[in-house]
Chains A and B, each alone.
Chain A
Amino acid sequence: MMHGRLARRLTGSAMTGVTYGAAALAILPLAVILGMLVVKGAGSIDWNFFTKSAVPVGEMGGGFAHAIVGTLIIVGLACAVGVPVGVATGIFLAEFGGGRFRFTVRFIADVLNGVPSIVIGIFAWTWLVKPMGHFSALAGGVALGMILVPILARTTEEMVRLVPNSLREAALALGYPRWRTSLQVVVRTATAGIVTGCLVAVARVAGETAPLLFTALGNQFFSTRLKGAMAALPLQIYVYALGPYDEWHRQAWAGALVLIVLVLALSLIARAVVRAKRQLA
């Protein structure tokens, strides 16, 4: 029987090793992608990249200023649309007892979260672009906002539910009405968590390209008009990556580096907020 035991222990060690290998293999693409972005993109990032817009093909130089500003505007619009609705839905889910309606809303939030972003893009097109008759940054912002809502609803719900019930009971015992208890005690306690959820969600939609393809459309020129086509970082990267010119490819890598720094910074700040919060508690 000694042989059997040895074989079992060897199998165990081997499989433990396999899981180590799998974890290493899973992280490898992240390392490779980040490495490539720095190697290929960093060289093209200079002052012009942030201050100049695209130039006609054949001319050297030019930058991503229009795309960076466009992304900030469109994501800002998305927040204006999506954050209030998403957070309020999350508070509703966490604060108003069980029941079938709440279950349904939560289920729909999860299902909508899995709906491809391009489908949301089509929807924004039928509701905003088609009636208005032209592509617009507004439609792009609303499309991204619609993607924010289900994500925020679920993260906000989780965060609000983490608040200990004793806090709620204490406030009610002091004679606070329920709505003040909810807003001034419970939700306020969960603020750090909710902000974290917002940062993470914004990081995700900032990199979305598909819903912008036929809403904001993209623009080679600097524009801040909400009712017109507007450039965005991911759109510009997409166009330049598929283009035939080396100069475009070079700039696509640089744009991708800027985008990923933006996205990862938001994600990491969000994590830091959570960690600081945990240490205080």
Chain B
Amino acid sequence: MTDIPAAVLEPEVAPQLTAEERWRALKTVSPGDVVYRIVLTVVALILPLLLVLIAAELVANALPAVSKFGFGFLTHSTWDPVSGEFGALPLIFGTLYSSLVALLIAVPLALACAVFLTEFAPRWLRTPVATLIELLAAVPSVIYGLWGIFVLIPLLRDHVWPVTRHLLGWLPVFSGVFYGPSVLAAGVILAIMILPYIAAVSREVLLAVPPSQREAGLALGATRWETVWRVILPYGRAGIIGAVILGLGRALGETMAVTMVIGNRHEVSASLLQPGYTIAAAIANEFAEAVSDIHLSALFFVGAVLFLITIVVNALARLLVWRVARGSAAGSTAI
């Protein structure tokens, strides 16, 4: 007879535990678990800390300008580093104006793209087209700027404007002489840059619309377009508005491409053909060469304004998108 291990002969080696003891044993956590959890929690605290630190630094450094100019800073339009007088109205106006132009161009296009990708495109075409649109978001800002200077501006100035001047020249937003670097050029570049974000998030939102909604629309005899227009888009409205606001957030803070094509002039002008300036562009151009402490502080002040605007805009957009595509990372990935 070969040796049989004792455990096989007597399988009942585990001590009998009551239900309560067994439950307690299950609940015990190993020391490793505690360490793991603490380490990850501490690391996760870095992000909130970063947000607070950025806000604190911006405010602290902006204080000299805040106490010197007060809130008049936001409504004055003189920006003179030599005499130390600063007003941010042209910057704030230019930031909002160029972003508005970008939205006017990008939103209809992006929504049409999202509808195309979720409803109308043949299946084999969906992934490649979606990939190409997303690659637009991967193109670095400085390359858009380079392209804007050497291709888009000459195109607008020498070919598009001479043809459309007779049609649109009477409008106040198209008044004045068009030299090239302008709010219009910045708006067009921004539109191209934010289109992929709006399209990607809208697509995510449309995909989250339950199929039953679509089927109900079609079953009632609506055409596919009517289903899209009357059922699917209204269903995803909150998320789509979120997507648009997300695009707005991108446009407001975009720096390099805008700096390179907007003309960088501290002036408020309603004409799209005139140069303008944005907050981000002013910081990019003047920060490293600020002539005085108050100049630097004024730049921190506008930086804080930009930070505040983008935080509010992004928070709003997130909440709207989350309402539809719950917890989705749509748009938070880089492409």
> For window 102-150 of chain A, which residues contact chain B by CB distance below 8 Å?
102, 104-120, 122-123, 125-127, 146, 149-150
Is A2 engaged at the interface, CB distance under 8 Å to the other chain? Answer: no
Across the interface, do A123 and B53 meet the contact criterion of CB distance under 8 Å? yes
**Contacts A253-B146, A256-B143 given: A153-B47 contact, CB under 8 Å?**
yes
A260 to chain B, nearest CB (A): 6
Across the interface, do A105 and B287 meet the contact criterion of CB distance under 8 Å? no
What is the total of A-B residue contacts with beta carbons within 8 Å? Answer: 286
A119 to chain B, nearest CB (A): 5
**Which of A57-65, A72-80, A236-244 lies on the face that meets chain B?**
A236-244
Across-interface contacts of B307 in A (CB, < 8 A): 115-116, 119
Is B250 engaged at the interface, CB distance under 8 Å to the other chain? Answer: yes
Across-interface contacts of A188 in B (CB, < 8 A): none
Main secondary structure of the interface of B (DSSP, over half): helix
**Which of A45-53, A163-171, A173-181, A220-228 lies on the face that meets chain B?**
A173-181
Is B183 engaged at the interface, CB distance under 8 Å to the other chain? Answer: no
Across the interface, do B306 and A107 meet the contact criterion of CB distance under 8 Å? no
Across the interface, do B29 and A204 meet the contact criterion of CB distance under 8 Å? no
Across-interface contacts of A27 in B (CB, < 8 A): 129, 132-133, 136
Number of interface residues of B (CB under 8 A): 93
Across-interface contacts of A54 in B (CB, < 8 A): none
Is B179 engaged at the interface, CB distance under 8 Å to the other chain? Answer: no
Across-interface contacts of B58 in A (CB, < 8 A): 119, 122-123
Is A247 engaged at the interface, CB distance under 8 Å to the other chain? Answer: no
Across the interface, do A241 and B149 meet the contact criterion of CB distance under 8 Å? yes
> For window 96-146 of chain B, which residues contact chain A by CB distance below 8 Å?
108-110, 112-113, 115-117, 119-121, 129, 131-133, 135-136, 138-146
Pull 21 A–B residue pairs with CB atoms less than 8 Å apart, ordered by A. A33-B144, A36-B150, A40-B150, A85-B43, A89-B44, A92-B43, A96-B41, A101-B44, A105-B44, A106-B327, A111-B314, A113-B314, A114-B311, A115-B253, A146-B50, A151-B333, A155-B333, A157-B329, A179-B36, A183-B36, A238-B142
Binding site for A on B (CB under 8 A): 29-30, 32-33, 35-37, 39-41, 43-44, 46-48, 50-51, 53-54, 57-58, 61, 108-110, 112-113, 115-117, 119-121, 129, 131-133, 135-136, 138-147, 149-151, 192, 195-196, 199, 223-226, 228-229, 246, 249-250, 252-256, 260, 280, 283-284, 287-288, 300, 303, 306-307, 310-311, 313-315, 317-318, 327, 329, 332-335
